[in-house]
Chain A
C-alpha cells in the first residue's frame, strides 16, 4: 500500500515527521511509499516510510502515531493533486475533490501512486474530466444531451472513456469552437463597418455579451485549445490496466 500524508507546512528536509492521534493502529509498514500533500493540495515530493511509532495514550483508548517520512525525492515542479483525480478511483466529487483527502492521510493503490509519481495517468479519463468539469454547467448538461443522442450506452453500464472523448471533441467543435470562429470573423467584419468608438459596445443577445471582449478571449485561447486537442492521440496510450481498474465506474461528469 502507498500513502498520501497531509501537512500544512512543507519543511524542505530529507526527513519529515508526521504525528497524529487515532483510535486504531496505523497499518503502514516501514519501506512503503508515501507522498506529501501540502495545504494547497500540491504534491512536492515522494518519500519512504522510515519509521512508524505507535504509543497508547492512557485512559483515552487512542494511539499517538509518529511517522518518519524519509528519502525525500523532489519532483521538478510541484504536482497539483487536481490533475490526478481522474486516475484515482474513489474520487467521485470532481469539483470538491479535496473532500476525498480531508483526513490526515489516505491510502492509494500502486496504479494510483504511479499515476502521480510517473505522470502515468489515465489519459482518456483525465482529458475528458478536465475539459468537461471546466465547461460552463449549461454546456455540461448540453453535452450529456448530445451524448444521450449519439451513444446512450456511454452514460450507463461500463463506459469507454476513449469513445466518450471522441464525442466530446466533436461536441466542442460543433458547440463551442465553430461558434467562436463565427464570432471572430463577425468581429473582423464589424471592425470594418462600425465606428471605432462603438465597437466595444456591440453585443449579441444580452447587453453584457460584448463581441469585442469575447473576441479577445477567443484570440487568446482558441488556437492553443485546438492545438492541444489535435495533438492528443489516445491510440498511442495503453490504458488496459486503467480500463480494468475503472470498470463499471461512470464517466467523470458531475452535473449540479
Chain B
C-alpha cells in the first residue's frame, strides 16, 4: 500500500514539474526572474471566455509555430485573437506579451502582458495603436501588489498616452471592471493606493482566481 502511494507521488511529482516535451521546469519558480506566464496566459484566456458572449473571436495564427511568448517578444509571427462585436461589428486585436514601440523614443519598447490594439494595428505597433493594457502578477495567497508595481504599470500607461477606457468600451459580460488599464493579481490589493490608482487611470484587480468571481477592485 505504502509502496503504491510513494510510486504514484514520485511519478506525479516528476511529471507535473516538467514540460512533457522539453523537460524544462513547469510552473512558477521562486528564482530571480520570476515566471508568471501561466497566470498571465490564464488572465488572457478568462478575458476571451468572457468576451465570447458578445464578440466573434477569431484566432490569428503565428508563424512559424503558434508560440504565445513568455516575456517581451516581437508581435510579428506571434499568435493573437481578433474580436468582432456581434451587434456593432466593432473590431479590436487582443494581443498577448508582444512589444509596443514608443514612437517618440525609439527603440524603447514596452510589452504589457495583454494589450487591446486597434484592428488596423500593424505587426510593429506604436502607442498610437493601443487602447488599453493589462498586466498580471501571480502571488502567493495573501501577498498584495506593492506600490512599485503600481508605479511601473502607471508609467507604462503614461508612456502609451492611454485613456481611461477604449474609445469604444469593451462589452464584457461579467468582467466589466476590466474595461480600463488593470493590474490583475490572484493575491490581494491595497486600498491605501486607491487615490494613486484613480489619478493615474489604473485599476487593481485582486483575488482573481480560478472558479472565483468575487474580485476586489481598487481605482
Contact = CB atoms under 8 A, between A and B. Distances in A.
Is B one of A's binding partners? yes
Provide the main secondary structure of the chain A interface: helix
Nearest to A176: B27
B3 A192 contact: no
A126 interface: yes
Interface stretch (A3-11, A21-29, A140-148): A140-148
Interface in A186-200: 186, 189-190, 192-195, 198
A202 B66 contact: yes
Given A186-B42, A193-B57, A207-B65, A175 B9 contact: no
Contacts of B1: 119
Contacts, number: 184
A217 B49 CA distance: 23
Contacts of A198: 59, 61, 66
Nearest to A201: B66
Interface stretch (A59-67, A130-138, A244-252): A130-138
Contacts of B23: 136
Interface range on chain A: under 10, 10 to 19, 20 to 34, or 35 or more? 35 or more
Given A189-B46, A216-B20, 18 more contacts: A77-B3, A79-B3, A83-B7, A126-B6, A135-B17, A136-B24, A138-B29, A176-B17, A179-B38, A185-B45, A185-B46, A189-B45, A198-B61, A210-B20, A217-B15, A218-B16, A221-B15, A222-B16
26 contacts: A79-B3, A121-B2, A134-B11, A135-B17, A136-B17, A136-B26, A139-B25, A170-B140, A174-B28, A176-B16, A179-B26, A179-B39, A182-B210, A185-B42, A185-B210, A186-B42, A201-B65, A205-B68, A205-B69, A205-B70, A208-B22, A209-B67, A210-B19, A216-B20, A220-B15, A222-B12
